[in-house]
């Protein structure tokens, strides 16, 4: 309505450095748990999924205000973080497993007829049975 709203694509500066005189001393985690989790919630026109934001924030470890919410969404990094849980050991195995599986897939792919047995970045050269010339050309 009024104020310095530019035209379309006019590059309005929304949050200037000086636009926030708020008490910056306020602990961010305290603040976020209050304004994301508390306050009155009524249906808005523009639905911003605060859950998404929370999950991201959680992943970034800014805070964990809504562990239950996160759990419902299947986010449970704290259970798989080596620093936080003995379950982590298991997850490290899973991770190693995954890496091995990828490696196997790669090997199989190479065997399927690549001319580049030297593999991709960082991987040692792959010396395989090179029967590739026997495959019929597609």
Q: Which residues bind other proteins (CB under 8 A)?
A: 1-10, 12-15, 18-24, 26-50, 52-53, 56-57, 60-68, 78, 81, 83-84
Report, in Å, the least distance between residue 65 CB and other proteins. Answer: 6
> Which residue has tokens 């708020």?
22
Report, in Å, the least distance between residue 136 CB and other proteins. Answer: 49
Nearer to other proteins, 49 or 120 (CB): 49
Nearer to other proteins, 21 or 125 (CB): 21
DSSP 9-32: TS----S-TTS--S-TTS-HHHHH
By the 8 A CB rule, do 38 and 54 touch? no
Nearer to other proteins, 36 or 126 (CB): 36
d(CA 67, CA 55): 9
């Amino acid at each position: 309505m009024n104020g310095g709203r530019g035209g379309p694509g006019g590059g309005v500066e929304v949050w200037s450095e000086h636009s926030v005189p708020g008490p910056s001393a306020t602990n961010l985690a305290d603040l976020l748990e209050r304004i994301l989790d508390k306050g009155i919630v009524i249906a808005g026109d523009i639905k911003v999924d605060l859950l998404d934001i929370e999950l991201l924030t959680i992943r970034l470890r800014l805070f964990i205000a809504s562990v239950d919410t996160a759990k419902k969404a299947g986010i449970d990094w704290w259970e798989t973080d080596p620093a936080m849980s003995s379950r982590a050991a298991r997850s490290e195995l899973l991770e190693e497993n995954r890496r091995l599986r990828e490696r196997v897939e790669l090997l199989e792919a190479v065997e399927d007829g690549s001319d580049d047995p030297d593999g991709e970045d960082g991987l040692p050269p792959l010396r395989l049975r090179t029967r590739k010339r026997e495959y019929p050309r597609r």
